[in-house]
Chains A and B, each alone.
Chain A
Amino acid sequence: MSELEIAGCSKYYKKNGEPMCALAETDLHVKNGRFVSIIGPSGCGKSTLFNIIAGLIRPSGGHVLLDGKDITQESGHVGYMLQKDLLLPWRSILDNVIIGLEIRGVSKKQARERALPMLKNYGLGGFEYDHPDALSGGMRQRAGLIRTLLYDKDVILLDEPFGALDAQTRMQMQNWLLDIWKDFKKTVLFVTHDIDEAIYLSDEIHVFTHRPGRIKATIEVDLPRPRSEKTLMNDRFLTLKKELLLMLREEQVSSN
């Protein structure tokens, strides 16, 4: 199975001749099948960390290990989804979600056959042949995630996937994501700045500090699953929320 280990990864950029730290040396161990969130103020290097894990940028130091294998600077080992849906506007939804399979060399016909039931089961039935601009933001994010799932990697990185959605759609999407996670048993690493969302979804939350980003605290979310709207009223939920709020407020104060 798949365990993700981030060992001492950091990223420094040069800005006006001065080295600037975007991400301080970070260690993170994500166990198989867990839903792990990273929360922190904006500009805390969360996205930098994700780009390093996905192999899109080169870390200044440290390694990324997947099941003990070094995958630093190698792309294509993990599924990655950003806040923007990044659907290709000239392709139908169906042809958008199969693009990862196409790249891997699966024939279009086979790929479509595999994707169709998936779209149907996860709320995109009837939209298969529509173009992205005919869909709402929530629907497009669904398509984006199904594309990532069809790519079929055990670890999935989600960078604020619901950040641009309104509150109601967001709640719907969170439940939808939990369903999918339960069905596919993926290891998920999730970035958000929404405390409720982090607690509601996760097994484990890492709080990042303001620039330079590094992990400040780790919180176990011991709420029972399956979770539902009732979870939001749970005392334990509120305690966790208070704890996180205080930690993030501290960050905001120290950054000012």
Chain B
Amino acid sequence: MSDQLKDNEPFIEDPSVRTTKLRRRAFVGQVLVGVIILFLWEFLTRLGWLDSYYWSSPSTIVRTGWKAITQGTLLQDLAYTSGSTILGFVSGTAAGYILGLSFWWSELYSRIFEPYMIAFNAIPKLALAPVLVIMFGIGFDSKVVLAFLMTIIVAAIAACSGVQSVDRDLEKMLVSLGAKRRHVFMKVVVPTTIPWIVSILKINISLALAGTIVGEFISSRQGIGRMILYAGQVLNIDLVWVGVVALSLLSIVMYLGTVWLEHVLMKGRAPKS
């Protein structure tokens, strides 16, 4: 046993052993819980304890999904939905970030526009979806615009809070080193706000997805949202589940994407700065 010590060897504690052990065990546990849930779902519906008409079952979902991929348009729909979500997310988050940062440049300007930002945040953007569909058509554009509107204000508010958290003394120090405002902006304000914007990436990706799907619900010729709506209308509940699973998978992939983005943006920083 590696835990056992030889007689004259000192005990050197290695905390990393504990953490790797813990991580491995946690992973096994995570997989196990997932498998159990799937099994329960499958067998409870087979035994009739859960009504398979409403709950479908993992095996049916896989079968229906496979059919939707090979005979239907599931993959095209998935591409359509993820395309508008990602486009809306990136443009909305970037625009919101820039908007929030701009509040640093002028106090007067920031005081004038802050209440409007809060007011815009209060508007339930999804309720505007029918108008947007009329304005931008039933195609791709209206979904991107919805995702954009869902994300922009969250990013702007986060960037704005980041701007307010900038350490005045850091600004002072830079000015004493001869810095102009653009130097302070690039070297202090932007880096200070990065953790703030990073912290809302995950929220925004789900908001963008919600925006897109509502857009597809209202009116669309393609997309997972349209597929779910259609399947619901013809009471093909198995296909609804396929749509939900597809969206969940999409959501997970995009979540991992934001984790990667986070990693890139926070590179070179000490953890928990």
Contacts and interface: CB of A to CB of B under 8 A. Distances in A.
B269 A103 contact: no
B187 interface: yes
A134 B175 CA distance: 26
Decide if the interface of chain B is mainly helix, strand, loop or mixed.
helix
A84 B273 CA distance: 17
B166 to A, nearest CB: 11
B67 interface: no
A208 interface: no
A170 to B, nearest CB: 21
- Looking at chain A, what size class is its interface with the partner chain? 20 to 34
Contact of A104 (B170, B178, B188): B178
B182 to A, nearest CB: 10
Decide if the interface of chain A is mainly helix, strand, loop or mixed.
loop
- Looking at chain B, what size class is its interface with the partner chain? 20 to 34
B191 A134 contact: no
Contacts, number: 64
B183 interface: yes
A223 to B, nearest CB: 31
A131 B268 CA distance: 9
- Interface pairs A-B: 8 shortest CB-CB: A76-B178, A80-B176, A131-B270, A100-B177, A86-B173, A89-B273, A90-B269, A103-B179
Interface of A: 54-56, 75-76, 78-80, 82, 84, 86, 88-92, 99-100, 102-104, 131, 133-134, 147, 151
Given A54-B176, A56-B176, A90-B273, 15 more contacts: A56-B172, A75-B176, A75-B178, A76-B178, A78-B176, A82-B169, A86-B173, A89-B270, A89-B273, A90-B191, A90-B268, A91-B268, A99-B187, A103-B174, A104-B178
